[in-house]
Structure 1
């Protein structure tokens, strides 16, 4: 799918000097005591803000924070973000107490070319999450063009993510563009062969994902707690391991569909077992199918599984990763995740693999392995990343189609 970018805006619209760009960003940042504790999402927006400032546009930032459910909740104001944003931009950032209406209009009108203003939480208005056309029109009255730089909110058909894009010339911001290009390279139009890694606790939460991927990938490795459900479905003893035994038939259906679609399914062939999830606890390696006691818990994939997976990765050109292979938060059950992550990152850094990860605990797992910077792309978008992997249309992206 092609989509309109800021470069297209500058080609078609020519001079942006003095024009107002309404930029949807994701500033739903972690906060404690009224202070931003992680400014990653603010930093992600900087390339778009700077590109528009360099073009002489006024930059009016639209964002949500928390879940005020259509009411003004002072503790959910975006105002505490201003100081951090000013420090990152290196220029003043104005703040408006509302995102629509006369005050917002006046504040934007008072900006110089290249000026930046953060508008108050769009979710203070019920029309935002309802994608109310009247509220979208109020937003549209504030600007000349719309830029969506919040892929993480693109799976929501809200007024500031979808409705507004229908009313003004709409473009993808730099962060959105980078995300869409990476995802297209990983699953939309990848260089084959393509391998996927899907981990996590439950099959039930990733049914749509698994069903979509077995029709898209050449190989699919399954790890984490959900691998136990597949092992159980094969008749293997899993002891007292976390598993969804009521999903046994579903797991078999997925295995059959993978076989029918020509997707090689890679399940663990050896396992790390312990009686408790505690750091440094005694553990042992068993083969899949070995007899386990009722106290035994499968907590990670074993070294033979890691070696087989890394060999499979070596035979592929593209990899997409969602979810850890074991209980990575508790060493030594992080071993498989760390070993595979470092192998993937080394291949990506060498330019022999397009490696994209994201969703759920994946970012934390890759950070834990110390490899995030060496991956081709790591998405922090969470729900939007998962829905894209599931093959679902994202309203905020569809509205940017070229």
Structure 2
């Protein structure tokens, strides 16, 4: 997927145009309050460019999954519209519908330099999953509301939905927004020509979620550090006792194959912190090899020897990719490994460092280390598929220059 071939926002004439902008406002909301505005802030450069150039900005996004009528109350974009108005410092026309005369009339009345936000695109999923299954009529309808389309939602670029692929396939002109362009540029450096030494750190619960990216990185990287729940499947493949730790029995043979083929590249934890259960979260330490996690306990984090090992493997790295936590970070006693890894990467000098995955990003944000990383990705599944080398439909659908 070559970035240079795709149109970007800077290739468009925006003045006087009705500009459809697909953003990613899938923000965390608790008790009606937004708990992280990162995704809203990330969309501002693209929205501001359209407004400053005198375009009419028609902004839309999904928010969570909408499976039943009751979800409409909880998943409305209304709180997001208030926050966006606050961030932009201007009024926003809000239409609480996804289609129909009210929306069409509001768009027709727009003046140049005004912004309108319409309701959660996933409300259309109550109509035979029209959004998520890229219903041709819906994509055509949304495309008819504008003159040009800008996709700035990297988080859904790996999905062919009506609000990205559907619109792009039915409109005269389409382009990438600044956020999407930034993501593609940052991740392309990892996929195409990473500066060596290249160290990848992969965490999270399961190998099955990340088989493609692990395989791809084992080919490209000089070292692949594996932590989180998936490490226990590798540890079991080596014959260690892992107690009640998370394990994917059907992936043990695959782990053995990886360990045999890439024995000089794979770095596994050498000690663990465990607990007897999720209810009883006392941090029990299980020191170095041969690894023995007692039968009645489960590994929930890495500990100091693993951190020292990972630190030594990171020394001198010029490219670092990190995706996925080292432990169960929602428990304060088991955030230690993930936070330690964040600290180590933040100390690297002259390294190109990219981080993705919700829990890893949260750890970095909680520690206030955002500025220490070259790029923090806004897309979970999209970053994983991009790093696997897959073509993302949301980007493929955008016009070539």
TM-score, with structure 2 as normaliser: 0.88
Q: Is the 1:22–1:145 contact (alpha carbons within 8 Å) kept by the matching residues of 2?
A: yes
Q: Select the residue among 131, 135, 146 that pairs with 2:134.
A: 131
Is 1:390 the counterpart of 2:388? The answer is yes
Contact 1:187 1:320 (8 Å CA) reproduced:
no
**Do structure 1's residue 164 and structure 2's residue 167 form an aligned pair?**
yes
Q: State the alpha-carbon separation in 1 of the partners of residues 111 and 104 from structure 2.
A: 14
1:56 aligns with 54
The 5 A counterparts of 1:78-227 are 78-125=77-124, 126=127, 127-168=130-171, 169-227=173-231
CA distance in 2, matches of 1:244, 1:91: 51
Mapped to 1, the partners of 2:301 and 2:67 lie a distance apart of 40
CA, structure 1 residues 197+272, in 2 after alignment: closer, same or farther (shift >3 Å)?
Answer: same
User: 2:7 corresponds to which residue?
Assistant: 4
Deviations 1:4-32 (A, max 9, x none): 211122xxx3xx21111100012233334
Question: What is residue 334 of structure 1 aligned with on the other side?
Answer: 335
Q: Distance in 2 between matches of 1:48 and 1:132?
A: 27
Higher mean alpha-carbon deviation, 245-254 vs 28-37, is at: 28-37
1:323 maps to 324
Residues 271-327 of structure 1 deviation map (CA, whole Å, 9 limit, x = unaligned): 345545689836335212144532344333333322222222223211111112223
Q: Aligned Cα RMSD in Å?
A: 2.6
Distance in 1 of aligned mates of 2:259 and 2:97 = 52
Q: Output aligned runs, 1:342-381, within 5 Å.
A: 342-347=343-348, 350=349, 352-381=350-379
For residue 287 of structure 1, what is the aligned residue in structure 2? 288
Check the 8 A contact 1:78/1:121 in 2, yes or no: yes
* Contact preservation (8 Å) 1:186, 1:355: no
**1:40 Cα deviation after fit:** 2.6
One of 232, 253, 258 as aligned partner of 1:254: 258
Deviation for aligned residue 1:63: 1.6
Secondary structure of 1:203 counterpart: coil
Q: Matches of 1:153 and 1:146 in 2, distance apart? A: 15
1:138-192 deviation digits (Å, cap 9, x = unpaired)? 1121111100111111111011111211223111111111211111123333222
Instruction: Pick closer, same or farther for the CA change 1:334–1:97 going to 2, 3 Å.
Output: closer
Distance 1:183 1:302, change over 3 A: same
**CA deviation after TM superposition for structure 1 residue 200, in Å:** 1.7
Cα–Cα, structure 1 residues 218 and 30, in superposed 2: closer, same or farther, change >3 Å?
same
Query: Which among 36, 42, 45 is matched to residue 43 of structure 2?
Result: 45
8 Å Cα contact 2:204/2:228 also seen in 1: yes
Distance 1:343 1:278, change over 3 A: farther
The answer on whether the counterparts of 1:29 and 1:38 sit within 8 Å (CA) in structure 2 is yes
Please, which of 230, 235, 242 is the counterpart of residue 238 of structure 1? 242
Pick closer, same or farther for the CA change 1:106–1:229 going to 2, 3 Å.
Answer: same
Kept in 2: contact 1:186–1:354 (CA 8 A): no
Instruction: State the shift of 1:51 in Å.
Output: 0.8
Change (3 A) 1:51 1:253: same
Distance 1:302 1:108, change over 3 A: same
Aligned counterpart, 2:311: 310
- 8 Å CA contact 1:232–1:245 kept in 2: the answer is no
CA distance in 2, matches of 1:73, 1:50: 31
Q: Which residue of 2 aligns with 1:28?
A: 26
1:92-111 Cα distance to aligned partner (Å, 9 max, x none): 10022434444323212211
Q: Is the alpha carbon distance of 1:70 and 1:154 closer, same or farther for their aligned partners in structure 2, counting shifts above 3 Å? A: farther
Question: Which segment is superposed worse, 291-300 or 175-184?
Answer: 291-300
Total equivalences in the alignment: 391
Change over 3 Å in CA distance of 1:250–1:180 after alignment to 2: same
Query: Structure 2 CA distance, aligned partners of 1:294 and 1:235?
Result: 14
